[in-house]
């Protein structure tokens, strides 16, 4: 790997291409002493910052406490893919929760992407937005599954998907690995760290205060819960817990319903413009249809950003490039000589249902986490919904909070090996084309 010496350092972040190319690198102060606000938000990822922005727009006094840096977690490290919908398809939601709830969730399923685009526009956020996503199929079975997904979305009134044949794959990605795929014109990709930084700056412009390096160690209950870090306290009428996979042991009552899972991302050196354009001619982002999937896209400076791999329990593997590079070369053998400039890992929160876990800890403390690998859009939606909840409009929050959440089988000791076994089984089915 080359060094990152050509970029100004960005302490406290993973050594990622995102941190190296962030629009803002200055560190916000840590909380000292006492602050009083209407709402205290724990965690400055997409969920927390989306809620902060929604509430700031509504005129609330907001304070955000972030253990590390804004976007330190999954929000500043992900593949940057704007994937509409949830980590379970609408058919599964209907079977599980009934037609009425599935319909309500279906009606919200494009809103996250819409919120992102509206905010980029409204606050002139410079985060390399590109439009269009491609879901790649290895087998005819996956094509049939994509066709079924498209039909279901159309029943909910969404007309933005198109299944494409083998011959048309080359318009989106130049590889012989896929038999076809599906395009989503309302998908797309962004520089996620610059998006969350831009949204944070927008909230700050309306009075929100964001403290970095301020890990919350205790959350009180009652009418005005006091939230404590090692150096200060925040007193607020409402507390929103948005720590996701990085929450640790803060609230064992809710964290036993999610498991941190790591995914790995690698970025090449800048490629010849002609080469990267030939590999991804439409500049769509791509993810494949396997259970453990590869996801990739172009960056604004003509690199290939390639992700994949999975680590249940949130392990941070030391040999990141060795995990991802062989997959990249299977997709694009012409990149054998391409140098890898960056590789990093990050954790998302997985729930057993693969649907976010949203709810109340008390009358004044609420939480949302567990987007289960597809969270760029859902976190924006749920952050907004947390804001609506605080503002007294609980209807949509209550729909999410009513969805049952389940602890992982096997308790603390066996939940990781049992989940790995399940993933191995689904991975095997993909390899056998079942
Ligand atoms: C490598 C990777 C690739 C991904 N790719 C995609 C993709 O391409 N498309 C997609 O849709 N989704 C993707 N995801 C998922 C998506 O990034 C996440 O679902 C989403 O960013 C979660 O946002 P969040 O705000 O809930 O959590 P996070 O972004 O993890 O933010 C939580 C924040 O809370 C802070 N925090 C935790 N505990 C405390 C505490 N006690 N006190 C103060 N602060 C605290 C953390 O430091 C962190 O900054 C990916 C995830 C990973 C890890």
Per-residue pLDDT tens over the stretch 246-279? 998 898 888 888 889 999 999 999 999 999 999 9
Q: What is the mean pLDDT of residues 272-294?
A: 95
Per-residue pLDDT tens over the stretch 115-124? 999 999 999 9
Is the pLDDT score of 68 beyond 90? yes
The minimum-distance atom of ligand 1 relative to the CA of 216 is 42
Radius of gyration of the chain, Cα coordinates, nearest whole angstrom: 21
Per-residue pLDDT tens over the stretch 354-394? 999 999 999 999 999 999 889 999 999 999 999 999 999 99
* Distances from the Cα of 8 to the Cα of 5, 25, 95, 213, 340, angstroms: 7, 8, 51, 20, 19
Question: What are the structural domains of the chain?
Answer: 14-77+193-257+353-403 (3.50.50.60)
Per-residue pLDDT tens over the stretch 155-164? 877 889 999 9
Provide the whole-model pTM: 0.95
Helix (H, G, I), strand (E, B) or coil at 239: strand
Per-residue pLDDT tens over the stretch 191-204? 999 999 999 999 99
The minimum-distance atom of ligand 1 relative to the CA of 48 is 25
pLDDT at residue 253, as a whole number: 82
Pair type for strands 62-65 and 180-189: unpaired
Q: Which helix (H) or strand (E) holds 182?
A: strand 180-189
pLDDT at residue 6, as a whole number: 72
pLDDT at residue 74, as a whole number: 98
Q: What is the dihedral of CA 317, 340, 287, 401, to 10 degrees?
A: 40
Determine contact, residues 194/22, Cβ cutoff 8 Å.
Answer: yes
What's the gap in Å between 327 CA and the centre of ligand 1? 24
Is the pLDDT score of 421 beyond 70? no
Per-residue pLDDT tens over the stretch 328-349? 999 999 999 999 999 999 999 9
The residue whose CB lies within 8 Å of the most ligand 1 atoms, and thus the one to mutate among 73, 111, 286, 358, is 73
Band of the pLDDT at 319, cuts 50, 70, 90? confident
Q: What is the mean pLDDT of residues 15-30?
A: 96
What's the gap in Å between 191 CA and the centre of ligand 1? 14
pLDDT at residue 89, as a whole number: 82
The residue whose CB lies within 8 Å of the most ligand 1 atoms, and thus the one to mutate among 53, 193, 200, 244, is 244
Cα angle at 107 between 60 and 57, to 5 degrees? 15
Residue 125: HSE in the Cβ half-sphere, 13 Å Cα cutoff = 27
pLDDT at residue 330, as a whole number: 97
Helix (H, G, I), strand (E, B) or coil at 68: coil
Is the pLDDT score of 314 beyond 80? no
Rounded Cα–Cα distance for residues 103 and 90 (Å): 8
Q: Who lines ligand 1 at CB under 6 A?
A: 42-48, 65-68, 72-75, 77-81, 83, 215-216, 242-247, 250, 263, 265, 295, 307, 346-348, 369, 371, 373-376, 379
Band of the pLDDT at 147, cuts 50, 70, 90? very high
Is the pLDDT score of 4 beyond 70? no
Provide CB contacts within 8 A for 198, sequence distance 6+. Answer: 23, 119, 120, 123, 125, 126, 127
Rounded Cα–Cα distance for residues 96 and 47 (Å): 25
């Amino acid at each position: 790997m080359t060094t990152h010496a050509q970029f100004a350092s960005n302490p406290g972040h993973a050594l990622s291409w995102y941190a190296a190319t962030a629009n803002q690198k200055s560190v916000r102060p840590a909380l000292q002493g006492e602050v009083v606000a209407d709402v205290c938000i724990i965690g400055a990822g997409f969920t927390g910052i989306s809620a902060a922005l929604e509430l700031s727009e509504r005129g609330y006094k907001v304070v955000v406490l972030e253990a590390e840096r804004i976007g330190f977690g999954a929000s500043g490290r992900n593949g940057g893919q704007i994937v509409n919908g949830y980590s379970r398809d609408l058919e599964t939601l209907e079977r599980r929760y009934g037609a009425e709830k599935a319909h309500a969730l279906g009606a919200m399923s494009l809103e996250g992407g819409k919120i992102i685009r509206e905010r980029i526009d409204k606050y002139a956020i410079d985060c390399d937005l590109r439009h269009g996503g491609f879901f790649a199929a290895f087998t005819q079975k996956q094509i049939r599954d994509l066709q079924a997904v498209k039909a279901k979305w159309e029943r909910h009134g969404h007309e933005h998907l198109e299944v494409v044949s083998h011959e048309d794959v080359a318009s989106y990605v130049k590889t012989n690995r896929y038999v076809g795929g599906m395009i989503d014109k309302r998908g797309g990709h962004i520089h996620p760290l610059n998006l969350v930084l831009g949204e944070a700056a927008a909230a700050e412009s309306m009075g929100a205060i964001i403290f970095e390096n301020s890990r919350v160690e205790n959350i009180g209950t009652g009418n005005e819960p006091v939230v404590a870090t090692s150096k200060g306290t925040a007193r607020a009428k409402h507390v929103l817990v948005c720590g996701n996979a990085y929450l640790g042991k803060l609230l064992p009552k809710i964290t036993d319903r999610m498991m941190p899972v790591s995914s790995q991302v690698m970025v090449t050196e800048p490629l010849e413009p002609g080469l990267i354009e030939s590999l991804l001619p439409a500049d769509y982002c791509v993810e494949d249809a396997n259970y453990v999937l590869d996801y990739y896209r172009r960056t604004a400076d003509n690199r290939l950003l390639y992700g994949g791999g999975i680590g249940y329990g949130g392990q941070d593997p030391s040999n990141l490039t060795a995990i991802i590079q062989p997959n990249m070369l299977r997709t694009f053998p012409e990149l054998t000589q391409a140098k890898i400039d960056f590789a990093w890992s990050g954790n998302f929160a997985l729930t057993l249902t693969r649907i976010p876990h949203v709810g109340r800890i008390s009358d004044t403390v609420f939480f949302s986490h567990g987007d289960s690998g597809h969270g760029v859009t859902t976190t924006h939606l749920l952050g907004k919904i947390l804001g609506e909840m605080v503002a007294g409009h609980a209807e949509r929050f209550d729909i999410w909070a009513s969805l049952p959440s389940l602890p992982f089988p096997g308790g603390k000791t066996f939940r990781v090996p049992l989940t790995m076994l399940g993933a191995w089984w689904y991975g095997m089915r993909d390899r056998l084309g079942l």
